[in-house]
Chains A and B, each alone.
Chain A
Amino acid sequence: MSQLLDIIIQAFYTGAEWALIATGFGFIARTTNIFHLALGGIYAIGAYGCYYFTVQLGMPLFIGAIIGVLLAGVGGALIDLAVYQPVTGLYGKRQVDRLSPFIASLGVLIVLQNCIQLWFGSIPLFIESPDWGVATIGTSRILVWNLVKILISFCSVAAFALWLVKTRTGASALALGQSPEGASVVGISERAVRLQIFFATGLFAGLAGVLAIMTHPTLPHDGLAIVIYGALIAMMLPKANVLVWWLIAVAAAFVYAATITTIGGGWHDVVLQTVLMSAVVILRIIMPAMQRRRIIREASLLEATKNNR
């Protein structure tokens, strides 16, 4: 029982990081149809930016973290401006090609990760998290910092969800994803909305990086693994509310934590990836196919009943 509680707690604070990436990745895929793998590089910008300002320049942790997150946000917006917009074009001049931005994204990810590795080296880096003591939940003990991390992640995603439904700019971002032509004719500027989206999702990725480097040693290339998890989480239910992605991220992290405990070694990654891929296949391919088949069967039954009459 105590071990289960430990796994659940660990799932929450690992899932808190993944949820931020899933939100960023999923929302960009939903609104621009781009598989933004470069988010892994932005994650590294957040983590290493925070490290640079805090450890190397000696700034207070809080300031370093904010600068790291902001750098990631700006990085996200710049990638859209300098790479995606020229590659995909805006509405009206858009080339219908999903492969080019995907390859461009992969290229940006590799460039960012390698640049960071050239600057900081390939040794895992770590920032000591604030020592706020230990809390006891049932029989388990958890660092208060980890509870704060869960809270920061949840509140950020919840604030984003509120921004989407309560503000005109949030609604315009959703509108752009659903009908670029409709968004154009009502006067929504695609360029401006995209910059906001990429900035906001960059902030999320940067925040995930900052939270990660303050929790465990982090490498420049860690971003790719986490962005793959984020992508799989968001792809399960691509149209879901961002808070649902947060919960799925925690569930995925539960599988991860449980397999670390029970299997260990490098196998937990294999198990998690298999579980996530299976979930995506079931939710996105098998279930819709079954639903289509059921509708066809019901329609033919109805037709047969009409004919019999």
Chain B
Amino acid sequence: MNISSSSSSKVDIEQEPLLTINGLRAGYRGWEVLSDINLRLKPGETLGILGHNGAGKTTLLRCIAGLLAPTHGQISYDGEDISRWSIPQRVKKGIVLVPQGRALFRELSIRDNVMLGAFRKTPSEALQAWNSLSERWKWLAERQTTHVEKLSGGQQQIVANARGLASLPNLLMVDEPSIGLSGVAVTELVEFLKGLRSEGKTTILVEQNVGLAANVCDHFMILRNGEVIGLYHRSELPMENLWSLF
């Protein structure tokens, strides 16, 4: 992996990156939030993006997912320039975001929520995804007709994760999943994210809970005011003075 906020970039000849971002700039209504972001993420890697509120973490994920159009720069995925692709095209290609706040369909059932995650798949693939996910989380099948609004925060996060996985992503991005969760739910979440890493799923995690991120990610990108101020491998992360890095 090679992540930087400058034009310098190391060349990794071992494996082609799954996601490459070059000189990305983006913002809202003329206000630039991200400036000159560069990133190379290889298949199977787990990247944690850390930073204070307003650092640009969510904006970066939104650009990759296609929810926000960059003002400059290029996003390539699996060797193809996807900068101008629509969101449905990206989802079809396997780029999936589990957004902050979960954005679930609160008045639909658990099953409908998860099945809609596979909206860009064929009905039989969607059914297959549901079967495999309800095997993973048995209670999903047991309470499949329950409306999502009746679930606890932790359960809603699991439904959001399941919805993300239903589309069989190649790149899964999870934005602030631990917000509002109890200790038990956070433990479950950590297990889920560790499971993704052991399955070799390429994952980007945006998280304010540094301990959680440190537990599940291989690489870390630290953002401040829309710029990358540091990148670390798991073994290099200075846990004792991590907050001072921000």
List B154-183 residues whose CB lies under 8 Å from chain A: 163, 167
Given the complex of chains A and B, what is the CA–CA distance between A181 and B98 in angstroms?
10
Residue pair A185, B65 in contact (C-beta under 8 Å): yes
* B48 CB–A CB distance under 8 Å: no
Given contacts A92-B67, A181-B99, contact A187 B91 (CB under 8 A): yes
A280 contacts across to B, CB distance below 8 A: none
Given the complex of chains A and B, what is the CA–CA distance between A182 and B99 in angstroms?
8
List B69-100 residues whose CB lies under 8 Å from chain A: 86-88, 90-92, 96-99
A187 contacts across to B, CB distance below 8 A: 87-88, 90-92, 119-120, 167
Select the stretch in B38-46, B104-112, B133-141 that faces chain A: B104-112
Residue pair B105, A175 in contact (C-beta under 8 Å): yes
Residue pair B104, A186 in contact (C-beta under 8 Å): no
Given the complex of chains A and B, what is the CA–CA distance between A294 and B115 in angstroms?
37
* B229 CB–A CB distance under 8 Å: no
Given contacts A178-B107, A184-B87, A189-B88, contact A171 B112 (CB under 8 A): yes
A244 contacts across to B, CB distance below 8 A: none
CB distance from A244 to the nearest CB of B (A): 14
Given the complex of chains A and B, what is the CA–CA distance between A171 and B94 in angstroms?
21
* A179 CB–B CB distance under 8 Å: yes
List A175-199 residues whose CB lies under 8 Å from chain B: 175, 178-179, 181-189
A175 contacts across to B, CB distance below 8 A: 105, 108, 112, 116
List A85-126 residues whose CB lies under 8 Å from chain B: 91-92
Given the complex of chains A and B, what is the CA–CA distance between A186 and B163 in angstroms?
8
Residue pair B108, A185 in contact (C-beta under 8 Å): no
Given contacts A185-B67, A186-B167, A187-B87, contact A179 B119 (CB under 8 A): no
Q: Which of B102, B108, B126 has the most CB of A within 10 A?
A: B108
* Interface size counted on chain A using CB atoms at 8 A: 19
Where chain A touches its partner, the secondary structure class is helix
A239 contacts across to B, CB distance below 8 A: 107
B56 contacts across to A, CB distance below 8 A: none
* B18 CB–A CB distance under 8 Å: no
Given the complex of chains A and B, what is the CA–CA distance between A45 and B103 in angstroms?
38
Given the complex of chains A and B, what is the CA–CA distance between A136 and B90 in angstroms?
61
Residue pair A92, B108 in contact (C-beta under 8 Å): no
CB distance from A211 to the nearest CB of B (A): 31
* A168 CB–B CB distance under 8 Å: yes
Cross-chain contact of B119 among A92, A168, A178 (Cβ < 8 A): A168
B87 contacts across to A, CB distance below 8 A: 184-185, 187, 189
Given the complex of chains A and B, what is the CA–CA distance between A174 and B90 in angstroms?
22
CB distance from A189 to the nearest CB of B (A): 5
Closest to B92 in A: A187
CB distance from B92 to the nearest CB of A (A): 6
Given the complex of chains A and B, what is the CA–CA distance between A19 and B98 in angstroms?
38
* Interface size counted on chain B using CB atoms at 8 A: 30
CB distance from B62 to the nearest CB of A (A): 8
* B54 CB–A CB distance under 8 Å: no
B108 contacts across to A, CB distance below 8 A: 171, 174-175, 178
A172 contacts across to B, CB distance below 8 A: 116, 119
CB distance from B218 to the nearest CB of A (A): 24
Residue pair B106, A178 in contact (C-beta under 8 Å): yes
Cross-chain contact of B103 among A168, A171, A179 (Cβ < 8 A): A179
A179 contacts across to B, CB distance below 8 A: 103-106
Q: Which of B91, B92, B105 has the most CB of A within 10 A?
A: B105
Cross-chain contact of B86 among A168, A185, A186, A189 (Cβ < 8 A): A189
Closest to B107 in A: A178
* B226 CB–A CB distance under 8 Å: no
Given the complex of chains A and B, what is the CA–CA distance between A92 and B65 in angstroms?
12
Given contacts A92-B67, A168-B123, contact A185 B99 (CB under 8 A): yes
List A233-291 residues whose CB lies under 8 Å from chain B: 239
* B117 CB–A CB distance under 8 Å: yes
A91 contacts across to B, CB distance below 8 A: 67
Residue pair A174, B107 in contact (C-beta under 8 Å): yes
CB distance from B110 to the nearest CB of A (A): 13
Cross-chain contact of B67 among A171, A178, A184 (Cβ < 8 A): A184
CB distance from A183 to the nearest CB of B (A): 8
Given the complex of chains A and B, what is the CA–CA distance between A187 and B120 in angstroms?
6
Residue pair B103, A188 in contact (C-beta under 8 Å): no
* B210 CB–A CB distance under 8 Å: no
Given contacts A171-B112, A188-B119, contact A182 B103 (CB under 8 A): yes
9 A-B pairs besides A172-B116, A182-B104, A186-B163 with CB distance below 8 A are A174-B105, A175-B116, A185-B97, A185-B103, A187-B87, A187-B90, A189-B86, A189-B87, A239-B107
> What are 19 inter-chain pairs, A to B, with CB distance below 8 A?
A92-B67, A168-B116, A171-B108, A171-B116, A172-B119, A174-B107, A175-B116, A178-B106, A179-B105, A181-B67, A181-B99, A181-B103, A182-B102, A182-B105, A184-B67, A186-B91, A186-B163, A187-B91, A188-B88
